[in-house]
Amino acid sequence: MAAALVVVTAAFARNLAKFPVCCSTTCSWSCSRLAGGVLVVVAPPSQVVAPPSQSLVHSRLRHRTNSAVMTLPSQRRPAMARRHAAVVCTDYTTAAVTFFSNVRVPATLVAATAIKEAFVLVSVPRDLAASQGWRILRRCYTLLMLFSFSEELSCVFISTGAMMLLQSGTLDTKAPSLVALLVRELEYEYVSVRHHFITGVLSLMFAQALRARQALPLPALAR
């Protein structure tokens, strides 16, 4: 029980001694006089302030938290909601198969073009056959076309293997996005098909640039 102590000076206590020691019959205070002229006034139990209950403390904390959230700027509320939102995973099997199929078809066309046009510079006019510049150009062209064919063929094979893995049911195809699925389950295939396809297309472009250089009427090439 909490008690309130009031220390009164000795003179005041001696003056107070002239009156009855306690007036508990007419008031709600319990008084007692101690030795040394010190008067102790003790509040009755009915007037002692009890500490707040646990439920009251929790309700006040919730009220303060809700007030703080309501006072946040409006532009920060959607960001907090998106941050705490649950991540939804979707089955991206069909989308992943479509991705590899969309890479495989153009790679097949580029590979067919590269192998078909790889040896078009074999037959040359007799005046250019003995030229060193012409021989270097023809060899570079053939090598670039064959390199393009091999790169695109590798892209076709890797894409086919990735599609078979996706349709076999051995992979976890649920992910937040298609890229997340490809990076997690098929990282090698995802990187390889893009690398092989782009490299093959660039090799084909450089080879065709050399072929255009040969078709131009430049006398310096015959030296």
Q: Is residue 119 part of a domain?
A: yes
Q: How far is CA 223 from CA 95, 197, 207, in A?
A: 55, 36, 21
Q: Are residues 33 and 137 in the same domain?
A: no
| Confidence at residue 89, expressed as pLDDT on a 0 to 100 scale | 87
Q: Is residue 209 part of a domain?
A: yes
Q: Is residue 28 part of a domain?
A: yes
Q: Are residues 40 and 103 in the same domain?
A: no
Helices 187-215 and 178-185 meet at what angle, rounded to 10? 100
Q: Are residues 42 and 133 in the same domain?
A: no
| Confidence at residue 78, expressed as pLDDT on a 0 to 100 scale | 56
Q: Are residues 27 and 137 in the same domain?
A: no
Distance CA 44, CA 47 (A): 6
Q: Is residue 84 part of a domain?
A: no
Q: Is residue 83 part of a domain?
A: no
Q: Is residue 76 part of a domain?
A: no
Each residue's pLDDT expressed in tens, for the chain with a length of 223 residues? 444 334 444 444 455 455 444 444 444 444 444 444 444 444 444 444 455 555 554 555 555 545 544 444 455 555 555 554 567 888 899 999 999 999 999 999 999 999 999 988 877 766 666 777 788 888 899 999 999 999 999 999 999 999 999 999 888 889 999 999 999 999 999 999 999 999 999 999 999 999 888 777 665 554 5
Distance CA 42, CA 24 (A): 11
Q: Is residue 59 part of a domain?
A: no
| Confidence at residue 137, expressed as pLDDT on a 0 to 100 scale | 86
Residue 96: domain span: 90-216
Total number of domains constituting the chain: 2
Q: Are residues 112 and 207 in the same domain?
A: yes
Q: Are residues 189 and 100 in the same domain?
A: yes
